[in-house]
């Protein structure tokens, strides 16, 4: 405890076995004495040498994974930016909080913080709708400390996505991956600016795909008393256990090749901070939304004229209709 180096018993045992093995092999080599098929030689071949080989393989695999973490992190961090927002509050009305939030009769200002991803070298940046919605000023800070005032190109509350533009060229754009081929259990990195800290990278795995958690609540206009509570939001999150906290919103979720597979959007938490569940918008969904925002300023969607329960509420709705959820195949 006080600087004393404690030797691990297991390590001592392995070292002793290695010394015994070396002595046996050396004795056989130098003395010309054959112990072929003897218990000692079999023990050396089958137990000690195999154990050492396995340890080397496991170590090399571990080092390979760590190397991928480093390469992926190095590839994506230049493309993830810090976003700061300013909001104009409503006029205060002389309540008990006026000393904290402003003087009577004057408007107050609030500030927000989030993350964004450079998706094109000429200044287009993707982030979450909730990061910039209703902001009167949007500031983008690059990892190299350059600061730009951003223009809002378009918003899509139904997917919680937004597109910004800064007046710059030659920016380090992220490399897009394919979220459709992401596998559960696959290693991923989350990159962003939690709690307004500098670029932060966390690691985890893909815990689930196509998650609908009901966090984007956009009621439709076609509901009636006989229909389930409709929601026009589109949720198909990639769930990950990589640590995501307030401020990570709009940041990157990447695979070990450093390719963007998702845009971090939400966490499931009782406290408002990380508790093991983070959710990212799949990049294949985001690309269509962001392309539309760039071309038209809005998202163009086809309307089928049908409605169905949100996935998070469908089992409850089926039971209310006297249906067994396990027997419903397809869409009700």
Residue numbers annotated as active site: 130, 160, 249
Containing H/E element for 293?
A: helix 283-296
Q: What three-state secondary structure class fits 287?
A: helix
- Pick from 128, 64, 77, 107: which is nearest to 266 by CA? 128
Question: How many beta carbons lie within 10 A of that of residue 323, not counting itself?
Answer: 14
What is the four-CA torsion angle of 226, 230, 236, 242, rounded to 10 degrees?
-110
Question: Using an 8 Å Cβ cutoff, are 185 and 251 in contact?
Answer: no
Containing H/E element for 59?
A: helix 49-76
* Calpha distance 51→26 (Å, rounded): 20
Name the E strands within the chain: 80-91, 107-120, 124-127, 137-141, 147-149, 151-156, 161-165, 175-176, 187-192, 200-211, 237-240, 252-254, 259-268, 277-282
Contacts of 257 (CB under 8 A, 6+ apart): 68, 72, 75, 175, 177
Helix then strand then coil, % of the chain, to nearest 5: 30, 30, 40
* Calpha distance 26→20 (Å, rounded): 10
* Calpha distance 191→243 (Å, rounded): 10
């Amino acid at each position: 405890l006080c600087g004393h180096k404690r030797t691990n018993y297991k390590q001592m045992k392995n070292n002793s076995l290695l010394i015994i093995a070396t002595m046996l092999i050396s004795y056989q080599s130098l003395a010309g004495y054959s112990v072929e098929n003897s218990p000692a030689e079999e023990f050396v071949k089958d137990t000690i040498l195999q154990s050492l080989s396995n340890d080397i393989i496991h170590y090399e695999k571990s080092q390979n994974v760590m190397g991928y973490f480093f390469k992926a992190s190095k590839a994506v961090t230049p493309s993830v930016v810090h976003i700061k927002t300013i909001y104009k509050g409503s006029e205060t009305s002389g309540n008990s909080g006026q000393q904290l939030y402003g003087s009577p009769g004057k408007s107050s200002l609030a500030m927000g913080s989030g993350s964004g991803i450079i998706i094109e070298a000429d200044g287009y940046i993707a982030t979450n709708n909730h990061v910039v919605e209703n902001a009167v000023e949007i500031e983008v800070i690059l990892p190299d400390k350059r600061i730009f005032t951003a223009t809002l190109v378009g918003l899509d509350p139904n997917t919680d996505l937004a597109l910004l533009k800064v007046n710059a060229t030659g920016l380090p754009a992220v490399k897009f991956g394919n979220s459709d081929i992401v596998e559960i259990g696959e290693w991923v990195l989350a990159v962003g600016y939690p709690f307004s800290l500098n670029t932060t990278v966390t690691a985890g795995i893909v815990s689930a795909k196509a998650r609908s958690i009901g966090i984007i609540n956009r009621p439709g206009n076609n509901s009636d008393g006989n229909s389930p509570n409709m929601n026009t939001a589109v949720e198909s999150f990639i769930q990950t256990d990589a640590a995501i906290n307030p401020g990570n919103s709009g940041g990157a979720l990447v695979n070990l090749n450093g390719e963007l597979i998702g845009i971090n959007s939400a966490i499931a938490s009782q406290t408002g901070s990380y508790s093991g569940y983070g959710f990212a918008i799949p990049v294949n969904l985001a690309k269509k939304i962001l392309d539309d925002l760039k071309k038209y300023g809005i998202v163009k969607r086809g309307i089928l004229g049908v409605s169905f329960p949100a996935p998070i509420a469908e089992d409850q709705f089926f039971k209310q209709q006297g249906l067994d959820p396990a027997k419903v195949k397809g869409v009700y």
